[in-house]
Structure 1
Amino acid sequence: MSSIVPAQIRGARGMLGWSMMDLARAAGLSVSTVKRFEDAAQPRPSSKKAEAIRGAFEDHGITFEAIEGGTIGLRFDPHARPRASAFSRFM
Structure 2
Amino acid sequence: MGDPIDLMIHKSSQESIGVSSSQIRAARALLGWSGKDLAEFCSVGLATIRRYEQENGLKKANPSVLKAIINLFESHGIEFLGDPLVNPGVILHLDRQAK
- Which TM-score band (shorter chain)? 0.7 to 0.9
More strand by share: 2
Change in 2 beyond 3 A, CA 1:21/1:47: same
Match for residue 50 of structure 1 among 66, 81, 88: 66
CA–CA distance in structure 1, aligned partners of residues 97 and 31 of structure 2: 12
Question: Given the alignment of the two structures, is residue 3 of structure 1 paired with residue 14 of structure 2, yes or no?
Answer: no
* CA RMSD after TM alignment: 2.3
Q: 72-81 or 5-14, which moves further after superposition?
A: 72-81
- Secondary structure at the counterpart of residue 94 of structure 2: coil
Change in 2 beyond 3 A, CA 1:74/1:33: same
Kindly indicate whether the alpha-carbon contact (under 8 Å) linking 2:27 and 2:90 is maintained by their aligned counterparts in 1.
yes
Kindly indicate whether the alpha-carbon contact (under 8 Å) linking 1:10 and 1:38 is maintained by their aligned counterparts in 2.
yes
- Gap regions ≥5 residues in structure 2: 1-15
User: Counterpart of 1:12 in structure 2: which amino acid?
Assistant: A
TM-score after normalising by structure 1: 0.74
Kindly indicate whether the alpha-carbon contact (under 8 Å) linking 1:20 and 1:35 is maintained by their aligned counterparts in 2.
yes
- Gap regions ≥5 residues in structure 1: 84-91
Query: What is the percentage of aligned positions where both structures have the same residue?
Result: 29
Aligned residue pairs: how many? 82
Using CA pairs under 8 Å that are at least 6 residues apart, name the structure with larger relative contact order, 1 or 2.
2
CA–CA distance in structure 2, aligned partners of residues 49 and 2 of structure 1: 13
TM-score after normalising by structure 2: 0.69
More helix by share: 1
- Secondary structure at the counterpart of residue 79 of structure 1: helix
